[in-house]
Amino acid sequence: MAAPRSPADDSPMKAAIFFAAIVLAAAPAFAQAGPYAARNQWSFELTPYLWAAGLQGDVEVRNRKASVDASFSDLLKDLNFGAMLAGEVRYNRWGFLFDGMYMKLSEEGDTPGALSSGVDVVSKTGIVEGAFMYRPVWLDGFTLDVLAGARAWILDAELKFKPGLLPGTTISRTTAFADPIVGLRAVMNVTDRLSLSVLGDVGGFGVSSDITWQAFGGIEYRFATLWSARAGYRALGIDIDKRDAHINAVLHGPVLGSSWRF
C-alpha cells in the first residue's frame, strides 16, 4: 500500500468535489449569432466546443481545508468522457441561449491508516443553462445583448473504498441546484469574415451559490456560409457553500469551437 497522505492535502471527498468543480458553471459564450443574424427572420446556431480549463482556489470539506492549483493537463488524465454543446435561437431582437455539458472523471487515491487500502473516486457532472436575450443595440457591425437566465447542474460523487482492516464499501452523494444569472454580450465585426466578442455575467446572489461570475473574450472566423471557427479565453469564479463543502475558486483557460448556422 502506498504511503498515506495528509487528509488536508488529499482527502477522497475533497477530490470528488474538486473534479465536480471543474465544470461547476459554464455559460454559452460561443453561441453568438451577433451581426451575422438577419432581422425579422429565425436564425439557429449550434457550437460544439472544448474548454481547456485549469483550476485555482480553496476547497473545504468537513472543516478540512486544501488549496488547489491544477492545470488542464493535470485534469485531462482523469477524464473518462466529456461533451460540451452551446446553441442560440433568435428572431429579430429576441433570442435564447442554451448550454449543455457532461463530464465523467475518475481518480485512484490513498487513504490514511490501514482501515482501507485505497479509494476510487468517480465524479459525474451534468449542467444545463438557459438565458433569454434582448438586443437593444443592433448596428451594421456591432450588437449588444442583455441576457437573463439560470444555471442548473447535478453533481454525483461516488467513493469506493477498497478492503483493508474493514471490508470494502461504497459511499455516493448526489447534489442538484440552480442559480439565476444576468449578463451582457457584445459582438463587433472587424471584417466580413472576422468578428470579436466579449461576454460577462454574474449570478448566484445567495440562491444556491453565494456568487458566480464569468468573463469571456473571443474571436470568430467565418470560413464558409454556414460554418465558422472560434477561439477565446474564459475565466469563471465560483463561491459555493453547500452543507459540509465550500468551494471558492477560479477556473480559466482557452476555448475552441466550431459553429454551424442554419
Distance, in Å, from the CA atom of 212 to the CA atom of 23, rounded to the nearest integer, reads: 13
20 located within any domain: yes
242 located within any domain: yes
Residue with the larger pLDDT of the pair 171 and 194:
194
Instruction: Indicate the pairing of strand 54-61 with strand 245-261.
Output: antiparallel
Confidence at 103, pLDDT banded by 50, 70, 90: confident
For residue 43 the three cell numbers come to: 436564425
Helix (H, G, I), strand (E, B) or coil at 170: strand
Q: What pTM was estimated for this model as a whole?
A: 0.76
3 located within any domain: no
pLDDT for residue 25 is more than 50: no
Domain holding 97, by residue range, is 12-254
The answer to whether the beta carbons of residues 181 and 138 sit under 8 Å apart is no
205 located within any domain: yes
For residue 107 the three cell numbers come to: 481518480
Instruction: Domain count for the chain, please give it.
Output: 1
At residue 82, the pLDDT reads 76
Conformation bin of residue 57: beta by default, left when phi > 0, alpha when psi is -120 to 50: left
- Domain CATH code at residue 96: 2.40.128.100
Residue with the larger pLDDT of the pair 230 and 212:
230
Give residue-wise pLDDT tens across range 132-153. Answer: 999 999 998 999 999 999 988 7
260 located within any domain: no
259 located within any domain: no
